[in-house]
Amino acid sequence: MKSEQELNADILKITMSIKDNYPELSKFIEEMPVTIPDVHNLEITRKNLSTYYDSLKAMVSGYIAQKTRTQL
Q: What pLDDT does 37 receive?
A: 57
pLDDT tens digit sequence for 51-71:
999 999 999 999 999 988 888
Reported confidence tier of residue 17, pLDDT bands at 50, 70, 90: very high
Going from N- to C-terminal start, the domains of the chain cover 1-8+41-72
pLDDT tens digit sequence for 19-55:
999 999 999 888 787 655 566 666 778 888 999 999 9
Q: What pLDDT does 36 receive?
A: 57
3-state secondary structure of 19: helix
The DSSP call for residue 24 is: G
This prediction's pTM: 0.81
Q: Work out whether the CA dihedral 39, 45, 51, 52 comes out positive or negative.
A: positive
